[in-house]
């Protein structure tokens, strides 16, 4: 189904999203130069908001379509093949509106619960080609909320397939989006970072039977069925999970272009290497904004820390944490407001993905200056709830 078929449901959905996701505090901060101060003396707290943050168009579109489907098909059984987006509050909202998550087991997803006539929602990350075909055969109504930027990547890997190229996907092999993208490939290998990319490039330049066996062991969960490094790394095209770090994706592309040039000569590069821009604008804008914040004159001395709000399993949010970390500025990644406790402790996900708790994280004996950003799947209201927790720690009333 396409979005225009949900016109009748739009007013109700807009009202739901306004009530659940909008924030007057964040709106005010946007209007006043992305900065907000409350309190006097030691109670004083200043928030500096990144210029780009929070909900992107693709995520907002996905939520609107899913909620519209819950209104349009009221009375029918509604399923969703995965989390709609990586945000716990949003996914709870889906459940509250009658949308059931298809259970995952060790054997795979429980599609046996889906019957003809049911409605199945495909999440923002998309679904695999096999899942789409299964649903078509099952005779269900499908509501596709896949982000258009993800669909753009699928078009790119299709070009790789037609050019007899192996897709080198910069992403996490267990991430729903990378799994979906890989399903559209003939041959692929998924590299999570520049280090893994360099490992593959080194094999291309220095192949051996031992190196081949080691590569297949290292990437056993991240390659296509029947992948043969000797055969499948002679022509490569670059694609990416749209939420990855742009600079790293570009570096990986340049690495493989150089590798092909060194291996086969400059005259064959065009035939053996391809790279198209598939980096999501919203992801890049949020990364640029936090980069601007940490690089501002005096930021390292001025900011007590940067609060990053977003799902702990959100890839784009995790990359926002990496930027202040690299600049030597403390950053706390919380997935919801109750990570900030009344005893002045904070439970957060660190840059390595570990969940930790820190006591006395907010200075109470002097004014505090806090940088603030949020992932592309984080509603403004969830940011406000987290900031209100900091107000309370400072002895101030909520916004």
As annotated, the active-site residues are 177
| Secondary structure of residue 236 in the 3-state scheme | strand
DSSP 45-111: EEEEE-SS-S--HHHHHHHHHHHHHHHHTTTS-EEESS-SSS-HHHHHHHHHTTEEEPPEETTEE-G
Q: Are 139 and 115 in contact (CB under 8 A)?
A: no
Cβ-proximal residues to 349 (8 Å cutoff; 6+ apart), any chain: 312, 318, 321, 333, 334, 335, 355, 356
With the CA atoms of 308, 314, 315 and 318 taken in that order, what torsion angle do they form, in degrees rounded to the nearest 10? 20
To which residue do tokens 């570096």 refer?
251
Which tokens sit at 342? 């009344």
DSSP 350-363: -TTS-EEEEES-S-
User: Of 198, 311, 188, 181, which is closest to residue 248 (Cα–Cα)?
Assistant: 198
Which tokens sit at 35? 């900065």
Between CA 144 and CA 131 the distance in angstroms is 12
Between CA 87 and CA 317 the distance in angstroms is 10
């Amino acid at each position: 189904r396409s979005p225009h078929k949900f016109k009748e449901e739009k007013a109700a959905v807009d009202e739901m999203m306004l009530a659940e996701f909008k924030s007057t505090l964040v709106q005010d901060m946007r209007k006043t130069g992305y900065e907000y101060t409350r309190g006097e003396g030691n109670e004083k707290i200043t928030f500096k908001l990144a210029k780009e943050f929070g909900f992107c168009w693709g995520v907002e579109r996905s939520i609107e379509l899913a909620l519209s489907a819950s209104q349009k098909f009221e009375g029918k059984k509604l399923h969703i093949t995965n989390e709609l987006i990586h945000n716990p509050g949003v996914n709870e909202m889906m459940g509250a509106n009658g949308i059931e998550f298809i259970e995952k087991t060790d054997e795979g997803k429980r599609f046996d619960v889906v019957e003809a006539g049911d409605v199945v929602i495909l999440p923002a990350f998309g679904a695999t080609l096999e899942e789409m075909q299964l649903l078509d055969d099952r005779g269900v109504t499908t509501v596709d909320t896949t982000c258009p930027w993800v669909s753009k990547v699928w078009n790119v890997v299709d070009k790789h397939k037609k050019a007899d190229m192996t897709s080198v996907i910069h992403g996490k092999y267990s991430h729903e989006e990378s799994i979906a993208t890989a399903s559209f490939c003939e041959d692929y290998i998924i590299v999570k970072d520049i280090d893994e990319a360099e490992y593959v490039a080194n094999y291309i330049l220095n192949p051996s039977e031992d190196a081949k066996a080691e590569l297949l062991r290292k990437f056993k969960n991240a390659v296509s069925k029947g992948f043969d490094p000797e055969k499948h790394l002679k022509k490569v095209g670059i694609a990416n999970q749209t939420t990855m770090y742009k600079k790293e994706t570009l570096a990986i592309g340049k690495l493989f272009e150089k590798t092909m040039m060194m291996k086969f000569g400059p005259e064959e590069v065009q035939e053996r290497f391809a790279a198209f821009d598939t980096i999501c604008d919203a992801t890049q804008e949020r990364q640029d904004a936090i980069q601007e914040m940490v690089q501002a004159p005096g930021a390292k001395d001025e900011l007590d820390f940067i609060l990053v709000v977003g799902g702990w399993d959100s890839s784009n949010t995790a990359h926002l944490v990496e930027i202040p970390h690299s600049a030597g500025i403390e950053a706390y990644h919380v997935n919801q407001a109750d990570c900030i406790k009344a005893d002045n402790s904070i439970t957060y996900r660190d840059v390595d993905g570990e969940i930790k708790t820190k006591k006395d994280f907010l200075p109470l004996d002097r004014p505090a200056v806090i940088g603030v950003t949020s992932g592309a799947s984080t509603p403004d209201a969830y940011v406000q709830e987290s900031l209100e927790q900091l107000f309370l720690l400072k002895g101030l009333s909520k916004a």
